[in-house]
Amino acid sequence: MSNPLLPKTSSSIDLSILHPRFIDRLEDFFSDGRIGNKVAICSGARSYAAQKALYDRYKRGKGNLAANPDWLRPDGFFRGSFHQEQPDGFSYAVDFRIVKRGITTDEVTHIADRYGIRPTVKGEWWHFQPRNAYSWFPEKSSTSAFKTKLEELSEKPPEPEVNWAGIQAIIDDMGRQIAVSPIRRGSKGDIVKVAQSKLNSLDFNCGIADGVYGRKTLRAVLMLQRSLLLKESGAMDYKTWTAMWKPEIPIGL
Q: Report CA torsion sign: 101, 42, 8, 71.
A: negative
Domain presence at residue 179: yes
pLDDT digits (tens, 9 = 90+) for 108-131: 999 998 888 998 887 889 999 987
pLDDT digits (tens, 9 = 90+) for 27-85: 999 999 999 899 999 999 999 999 999 888 888 887 777 888 888 877 677 888 899 99
CATH assignment at residue 237 = 1.10.101.10
Q: State the Cα–Cα distance between residues 231 and 55, nearest whole angstrom.
A: 24
According to the model, what pLDDT value does residue 157 have?
55
Domain presence at residue 193: yes
According to the model, what pLDDT value does residue 248 have?
54
Task: Tell me how far apart the terminal alpha carbons of the chain are, to the nearest angstrom.
Answer: 27
Q: Is 46 exposed, middle or buried (0-12, 13-18, 19+ CB in 10 A)?
A: buried
Q: State the Cα–Cα distance between residues 49 and 118, nearest whole angstrom.
A: 26
> Which residues constitute the domain of residue 44?
20-136
What confidence category does residue 136 fall into, taking pLDDT thresholds of 50, 70 and 90?
A: very low
Domain presence at residue 1: no
Domain presence at residue 15: no
β-bridge partners, 8 = 41
pTM of the model: 0.53
Domain presence at residue 217: yes
